Structure 1
């Protein structure tokens, strides 16, 4: 689902009355009946939006008018609005994934805004490819990658003295993007002939069979370098992204090159970058009987829309991929990680999931020693078979000898947290979260655990409230403990009921599940003690 703007939806798709009826339907459900605070929050922001009072949807006005805070409420000191906004996002996701799964009108509160977004549930043919087919409709799976062409950077300097620098940028962009397993890269030298023959980027893209084109320019005056980089989509002839970089001339060429490429790759590349995200949201069904699946796109959808349904669907697709191509290292690494998540979260998975994951990851590494998916899942499975000391040294080597991209480094940092090695993990996680707007939810889980371990309960609660995934008992569990530690045991009661009703088996074997996931026994004991405190406070 791609939410449209409020104006488009209310004016052209359905009336404000229909939105209000949907609001009443949501608020009448027991999920919201049990939380007057979140009901009032949602009611206030929806009604204000429909009335056109978008400017009033700020932290202060929501706190005072929506949550009943006093006039001296200071959102810089009290994070209650941000905390409840996170809970509201998660509760809405739970509603639409369950009782509201067939509702036509969707109400969402996206991260970074308090203005609700209204949209209409689309018919299946309008959905992105990765959401449309049911499992029994899979006829054919291709292992295509997203194709990206790196065009030569144009030298716009007054003389040709810096042509070498423009050429070097193109070559280095080719090298860096080629290392990404999500892309099939058409390099700088291969595109040179087409760039000389054609000026229309759409034509160049079609000639090269490239879905996306990265292009740019280099300029220099007496005191400054200016580098522009843009990303275009071939089919729609649309520029999707651009950025301008400026440096003083005293900065060395290599530093300018490295910083520019690192910034661009962080934004566009990798499994959670803009290119994969855009592909995941816009890919379409090829024909009735032939559906193309890209493993990277499915993995993106699973990691960013984490639920039991997305887990089951992604697992099935990856298993089908490997039936037709058992030597596909990316799918092997992804499935290995998926089995581990299933094991840790109590989802149905294979027999002996840790050993199976280790075997799949080992096979993937033998096929492609540079596979980052295989490397991550191999280290994660090794954490539970060999102990945290065995992987600590290998992770340190990966981080120090060959510094990975910020997202990859942060994924390794989550393993440090699961294993009880905390030094340096917080910095890596915060850096990735700052640079990547669509980072995996597990980064917030790891960062929240770090804050909890250090006794920073209010900060941990704010971080955990950013997680909007459903069907993850750990989120509800940490809400219970952190709300109790923060002096709000009555609010913890809602999450305690959710834990016991939706995860009854896990709740009765909580120590076992936590110990399977977290190797720091002291941290596990502290979480369990927090649950006991919550029970006592609620009695």
Structure 2
């Protein structure tokens, strides 16, 4: 860099060869936790930087070159590159804390961009002369030269890593000393009073190992990962208490687990126990092979699966607690958690009675506890359903419910901008109000907060897909289904549309028939279009007769309902063509009426 020769305290950065060797060292380490596409991401941004093309490392370029996205990729609304960059940053931090503490070369990806930064970890290496150790920055453009060299003192990153390790050690000592008093929770929402809700408490007990030291270590790490995942869920309180004390008995549920090792084969067993009667309400086994995955990767993967199965919407806790609704007093004096249960109970049954029960409960809850962001968000979604599921619920005018839903969503987002349900409600309301940019921004924010939240991932995936971003959207919907996202049959119709848009009519029909066709007449309409496009006229006739008998308003206003959901005219026309092939009548656009 300019001025380097005149200042003996400024040393050149690593050579290209040294950087390449360090990348190989990182990628070959079991402690570098990243899937194949993350590894491809890291190799691509390093090689492009070394080749002097760092100025071209934009989200669009990476999405096309690494992830195979089409030229229509929109970085503003598709967060795939930002999310992967965040994972790479965390994977590099973990590597240098665990396996790379003695490495000479530090590779980081500073936030705010995708250009990697290379530096020596120790002053002794930085003392090499420019002739012996040419600065990598000389070959990657002057824009990065000031970042490519290291000073005379240890690098800021290394200092941060060391301080982080010290803090972790101190925290571990404090944990051992005071563990019985520790509670892990995201805390109350802004303005929430202590008596506002009765969220369930879950104590995560110490996970046992099989006696083999490595199994004990993995068990401890797995428990920590589970606590970290559960603490992201707004609707439960996580108790980090390794001993069975009076505090444990006060919790509604206990999560127990153990880890067994047989050579490289790992099996983890987890179960959720209801404390009031000792009943096991959920249990599962998880298997892994340590030859193909690192310990950290196994721990993170299993913890995510446990969190999804236990605590996220439609998980074991919410299913077990649904009975609470029946025990509430008839005065309507329900707390916010009971109304949360009422909402998810309604979404599972999807009938007029359960909808009205949830609506009444949430209206009362927002009156009694006006600062509960979750209650406002769920109230927004319940209002919105009167519009988007009106053919199932028997509601009429879509205008007023949309405005009520919009007002409630804005209130929720104002109270708690980082609440996943508030952002989900804002996304859906904005989508149906045709503000697609705002919808996808809210969805991206919600998903970035907790990618394990299957409801957020599935709904965000549907909005991406139906706004024309089929590849990235369908990937998210597929991932949500693989994690047993609920309610059953809801996201399957999204996968049917994904297959339909790529002209795979066989897969489209299979997915469509896997969806709950009684759940929403719109699902029947999707199947009708698929059957028409596939030329299956007999089956199409059966679906058309059913729709005419059970959803005549839908059949008389097909264009209105489809254009409300599919944003691109070409996608709308493809869907209409399938319906026309089945013999259904599609009313002309309003501009053409009367011509």
TM-score (norm 2): 0.57
Listed as ranges, the matches of 1:515-530 within 5 Å are 515-530=563-578
Change (3 A) 1:505 1:229: closer
Give the superposition deviation at 1:354: 3.4
**Alignment partner, residue 274 of structure 1:** 316
Number of residue equivalences:
384
- Seen in structure 2, the aligned counterparts of structure 1 residues 335 and 443 have a Cα distance that, compared at 3 Å, is same
1:408 to 438, 453, 456: 456
CA distance in 2, matches of 1:288, 1:363: 28
**Paired residue for 1:345?**
389
332 and 440 in structure 1: CA distance in 2 versus 1, 3 angstrom threshold: farther
What is the rounded CA distance, in whole Å, between the counterparts of 1:467 and 1:225 in structure 2? 35
Is the CA contact 1:273–1:436 (under 8 Å) kept in the aligned structure 2? no
RMSD: 3.3
Match of 1:112 in 2: none
Measure, in 1, the Cα distance between the counterparts of 2:524 and 2:302.
Answer: 40
C-alpha change, 1:237 and 1:290, in structure 2 (3 Å) is farther
Relative contact order higher in (CA < 8 Å, ≥ 6 apart): 1
Of structures 1 and 2, the larger Rg is shown by: 2
Could you tell me whether the CA contact under 8 Å between 1:150 and 1:170 is conserved in 2? yes
Q: Do residues 497 (structure 1) and 545 (structure 2) align?
A: yes
Listed as ranges, the gaps of 5+ residues in structure 1 are: 1-140, 198-203
For residues 332-378 of structure 1, give each alpha carbon's deviation from its aligned partner in whole angstroms, at most 9, with x where no partner exists: 11121222222223334675443432332222122222221111111
Report if aligned partners of 2:461, 2:475 keep a CA contact under 8 Å in 1: no
Alignment match, 2:211: 157
Q: Write the deviation string for residues 381-428 of structure 1: whole angstroms up to 9, x where unpaired.
A: 222446334444554566568644344322210111232221222222
Q: CA deviation at 1:496?
A: 2.1
Q: Is the 8 A contact 1:398 1:404 kept in 2?
A: no
2:479 aligned with 1:435: no
Q: Which residue of 1 aligns with 2:356?
A: 312
Q: Equivalent residue for 1:230?
A: 271
1:172 to 211, 225, 234: 225
In 2, the alpha carbon distance for the partners of 1:447 and 1:192 equals 42
Question: Secondary structure of the residue that 1:441 maps to in structure 2?
Answer: coil
Give how far 1:491 is off: 3.0
SS of 2:242 mapped into structure 1: helix
Does the Cα contact within 8 Å between 2:462 and 2:474 map onto a contact in 1? no
* Shift in CA distance, 498/149, structure 1 to aligned 2, threshold 3 Å: same
Aligned to 1:331: 375
Please say if 1:477 is aligned against 2:518. no
TM-score (ref. length: structure 1): 0.63
Deviation of 1:525 (Å)? 2.6
Q: Is the 8 A contact 2:443 2:456 kept in 1?
A: no
| Structure 2 unaligned regions, length at least 5 | 1-194, 586-595
Are 1:380 and 2:428 an aligned pair? yes
Matches within 5 A, 1:456-467: 456-467=504-515
- Deviation track 1:276-303 (CA, whole Å, cap 9, x = no partner) reads 1232257641566677562332222222
How many angstroms does 1:152 deviate by? 2.3
For residues 287 and 383 of structure 1, the distance between their equivalents in structure 2, rounded to whole angstroms, comes to: 37
Equivalent residues of 1:429, 1:447 under 8 A apart: yes
- C-alpha distance in 2, partners of 1:393/1:326? 26
Aligned equivalents of 1:247, 1:376: Cα separation in 2: 33
Query: Offset at 1:180?
Result: 0.8
DSSP-derived class of the 2:211 partner: coil
The DSSP-based 3-state class of the residue aligned with 1:468 is coil
8 Å CA contact 2:427–2:440 kept in 1: the answer is no
Which shows bigger deviation, 292-301 or 144-153? 292-301
Q: Is the 8 A contact 1:339 1:349 kept in 2?
A: no
